Chains A and B, each alone.
Chain A
């Protein structure tokens, strides 16, 4: 085989690989360069930093406004993740195991919140929420973020449902288990890793959501992304670099957790099917 590869081919491949590694650096570098800059002692962000100091991290933890925004985002994220996971899992079951009238329309609705630009949705929600006095409320944020996270939950749970062997459900049903018992003891344990990772990503989507938050926040109740948006717009303070670093660390943890869950799901599927 090696003989079939001519010399220019190998050179071309090397150039292509070099380009690929350069793109990887391009993808990662802007985010990673913030990390060393966040531990610089000076008021101006500098690379490389002129020393090491956790001053900007301390600034974040001592600032009541940052902490309030973080706690509010946490609250919204947990509620939205829970609601989106429950509603999304139910819909996924209806799509795979049910006979849903108007299925095509429902599928179109599922992709709706992803296809429709978030700015369009955000402005529309702003208009309606203002009339209903829902701007800056936990209920308003939780509903908005649930809708934004739903498509991701539905797709993740659909993938989990397709991965396992439906014969297992039939076996339970034909042994006399009721439909709910079958779901509780067969289906749910098998799709659990998928459901948990759906919840995880729903939380991240809500916790990081900048556009809808930008519009439906008000002066005293704002989410973390809205607070970040204001700070970026008015002053690029090093506190923001500290916040950005912590958010990136959180993303890494979430991705690792998602990876572990996916491996668990695959192992589970292989063990039951094999």
Chain B
């Protein structure tokens, strides 16, 4: 969105402000009614029911049960981000060095999961990890374990499955940052006597840092509010903030408290987004197909 339109369009050839507003009207109306209004209603509920004040927020931040859920959410989001970064790096690097068919195949390997239903991917992990699932079947066949291990509903399983689901959001920005670095740079560094490690540290890493920041931020943001995978893979044992919100709404029917939890989640997400405004480049994820 940062690109400037070509110069002549700044002359009288652009739509007038009124015409532009008319073009934007359906979008604005939809977002007002189905985005801003519902969020405002829910936050209003959290601040004014049962009585005006920050009681609901205080409860969420003071009771140890809820505090534990929030700390777990932050911890899992952090681990997911680190694991995704670790896994994304070699793949992004290989993609940046590939051309033609090789690149197309690697890109397909990243884009196919990105566009495959989150439910399908979560279901796949459940099939793999459940008590009589594929992993336990394999372990038994290899004689590595005499009784099935409990893999589902553990924090490790949640981190692994979420890192898998969110990995494309890490690979794509790092890849586009790496692609922008001319190969001559690191070659020049090495011809001038830098070791491969030094040339990586001094040349490649600083230049691809924007991509890394963008990927980490996207994955962390998405992980913070993730619902499907923690709900199914983590169960009530590994409750994260999104699953807690769902429980409050569907089982306790406690809208004001759910609203406070959403308010806290939104606060984190908006702070991070504003802090790293430049790094949030959503256009990287569309039109890549």
Residue numbers of A with Cβ under 8 A of B are 1, 4-6, 8-9, 12, 16-17, 19-21, 23-24, 26-28, 30-31, 33-34, 37, 44-47, 83, 86-88, 90-91, 93-101, 106-107, 109, 111-129, 143-144, 146-147, 150-152, 154-156, 158-160, 162, 166-167, 169-170, 173, 179, 194, 197, 201, 204, 208, 210-211, 214-215, 225, 228-229, 232-233, 236, 240-241, 244, 247-248, 251-252, 254-255, 258-259, 262
Decide yes or no whether B227 CB sits under 8 A from chain A.
yes
Q: Which of these, A27, A93, A210, A236, contacts B109 with CB under 8 Å? A: A27
Given A27-B167, A120-B262, A208-B119, check contact A88 B27 (CB 8 Å).
yes
Residues of chain B lying within 8 A (CB to CB) of residue A123: 42, 245-246, 249, 258-259, 262
Give complex CA distance A270, B246 in Å. 50
The reply to whether the CB of B39 lies closer than 8 angstroms to some CB of chain A is yes
28 residue pairs A–B, Cβ–Cβ below 8 Å: A4-B187, A4-B191, A28-B109, A31-B121, A45-B127, A47-B137, A86-B26, A87-B26, A99-B16, A99-B17, A101-B21, A109-B31, A113-B31, A117-B226, A120-B225, A122-B227, A123-B245, A124-B262, A128-B38, A173-B13, A179-B15, A197-B289, A210-B118, A229-B232, A232-B119, A241-B123, A244-B120, A252-B112
A28-B113, A143-B34, A144-B34 known; A96-B5 Cβ under 8 A: yes
- Bound-state Cα–Cα, A26 to B161, Å: 11
A126-B34 Cα distance, complex, nearest whole Å: 11
| B124 at interface by CB-CB < 8 Å | yes
In this complex, what residue of A is CB-closest to B284?
A: A155
Cβ–Cβ < 8 Å partners of B168 in chain A? 27
Task: Give the A-binding residues of B (Cβ under 8 A).
Answer: 1, 3, 5-6, 8-9, 13-17, 19-21, 23-24, 26-28, 30-31, 33-35, 37-39, 41-42, 45, 87-88, 90-91, 93-95, 106, 108-113, 115-128, 130, 132-134, 137, 164, 167-168, 187, 190-191, 196, 221-222, 224-228, 232, 242, 245-246, 249, 255, 258-259, 262, 265-266, 269-270, 273, 280, 282-283, 286-287, 289
Q: Is the CB of B117 within 8 A of A210?
A: yes
Please tell me if the beta carbons of A34 and B120 are within 8 angstroms of each other in the complex. Answer: yes
Chain B residues with Cβ below 8 Å from A90 are 23-24, 26-27
- Establish whether residues B17 and A117, one from each chain, have CB atoms under 8 Å apart when the complex forms: no
The CA-CA distance from A26 to B5 in the complex, in Å, is 42
CB-based contact A30/B38 at 8 Å: no
Which residues of chain A come closer than 8 Å to B3, judged between CB atoms? 162
Q: Are B87 and A23 in contact (CB under 8 A)?
A: yes
- By the criterion CB–CB under 8 Å, are B41 and A115 in contact? no
**Are B286 and A20 interface neighbours, CB within 8 A?**
no
Q: Residue on B with the closest CB to A128?
A: B38
Q: A225-B117, A247-B116 are in contact. Are A30 and B109 (CB under 8 A)?
A: no
Task: Decide: B123 and A228 in contact? CB cutoff 8 A.
Answer: yes
Task: From B94, B120, B249, name the one whose CB has the most chain A CB atoms within 10 angstroms.
Answer: B120
A39 → chain B closest CB, angstroms: 14
A20 engages B90 (CB within 8 Å): yes
Q: Is the CB of A150 within 8 A of B283?
A: no
Q: Across the interface, do A146 and B134 meet the contact criterion of CB distance under 8 Å?
A: no
* Cβ contact within 8 Å between B287 and A155: yes
